[in-house]
Amino acid sequence: MSAVELNPRPVRVSPLIKFTRWSLLGLGILYGAFHHNRFSKIENARREKEEAERPAREARLAAEKKRASEAEIKYLGELMTTNK
């Protein structure tokens, strides 16, 4: 058999290192939960503002679309009359 073991024995980790790892993991989870909560509140406020502005924005877009359509029809009409 070779000198290298196929399944070497696990290394014993210091309790201080284990405690530090688990503490940092817990702190990371708490940090993430805190920031998720904060960003969720900001995002909800932004969505509410967009919902309040939606009717005005849709009306503006519809008016722009109508003007563009009328301009295109006018342009095509001019093209048709100049070609004859």
What pTM value is reported for the model?
0.53
The full DSSP string for 26-75 is: HHHHHHHHHHHHHHHHHHHHHHHHHHHHHHHHHHHHHHHHHHHHHHHHHH
Q: What is the pLDDT of residues 30-40, one digit of tens each?
A: 999 999 999 99
Q: What is the pLDDT of residues 4-15, one digit of tens each?
A: 678 888 889 999
Q: Which two tokens stand for residue 2?
A: 């070779």
Q: Show the low-confidence residues of the chain (pLDDT under 70).
A: 1-4, 83-84
In this structure, the dihedral spanned by the alpha carbons of residues 78, 80, 83 and 84, taken in order and rounded to 10 degrees, is: -110
Specify the pLDDT at position 28: 98
> Cβ-count burial of 41 within 10 angstroms (0-12 exposed, 13-18 middle, 19+ buried)?
exposed
